[in-house]
Chain A
């Protein structure tokens, strides 16, 4: 059984990084050098793809999309038939927070969705106020989703997201 998980979030929130950590295969990577200042050297312009095997009968495809809105036609490619969605938000980044609401509407995330919010770039930084803002925005959107601080560069931290998605699904069944 092959399931599909989309990683969505603003530019620089860690989508490509977390898929690289989680994937048990070499990822399909579509990063190119950015010609404008977006806070980092490379940006995704296609689809990142990775894969996790969970035993004999289940595998999960990991799909990362570009964070820039002008590539939203790529979002449509992964939006169909999703098993779960992971929303990554960059700690302290107001644009990332604004994009969260937009993305949740675009991907039709609601209380029935299998979805986890991961706040990245939180290591060694103050997080309480920003986390509260994320929580407040979720309430405005009328969803009550798990919110984690996650280090996209760390596999065990990234696996916490995946284990939570599986646990949510098991409670829904």
Chain B
């Protein structure tokens, strides 16, 4: 899968209710993806959706707010999705983390950004 597998297996322990953790190229190809076995979603779909959402978020941040995007959060009744830009060996990537209702939003958001920073140091 990827040399990042041990890294991602370690960070999963930081979350109380993790559903998906995915690292994707900017153009939507999966680099690493772990999906909770109860979810019926494919890693290619996670990758494509993540790249689309972050590209639109980047455009909105720049053109509407005149600033660089830090993160994007999507909230539903039972899950939350966190997305942010990442960098792996000079290539732009997208980190996507989906958590369940037991996960504190602020905690998940903080760790998403921390993980993105750690990825850039790999």
Instruction: Report which A residues bind B (CB closer than 8 A).
Output: 26, 28-36, 43, 45-47, 66, 68, 70-71, 73-74
Q: Which of A28, A31, A32, A73 contacts B48 (CB 8 A)?
A: A73
Secondary structure at the A interface, as helix, strand, loop or mixed, is loop
Using A32-B27, A33-B92, A35-B25 as known contacts, say yes or no to A71 and B56 having CB atoms under 8 A apart. Answer: no
B44 touches A70 (CB 8 A): yes
Tell me how far the C-beta of B95 lies from the nearest C-beta in chain A, rounded to whole angstroms: 15
Distance (Å) between the CB of B90 and the closest chain A CB? 11
A28-B63, A36-B29, A73-B48 given; 18 more Cβ-contact pairs under 8 Å: A26-B63, A30-B52, A31-B55, A32-B27, A32-B51, A33-B26, A33-B92, A35-B29, A36-B27, A45-B27, A45-B28, A46-B53, A47-B56, A66-B52, A70-B28, A70-B45, A71-B48, A73-B52
Residues A46 and B52 in contact in the complex (CB < 8 Å), given A34-B27, A71-B28 = yes
Which partner residue on chain A sits nearest B56 by CB separation? Answer: A46
A-B contact count (CB 8 A): 55
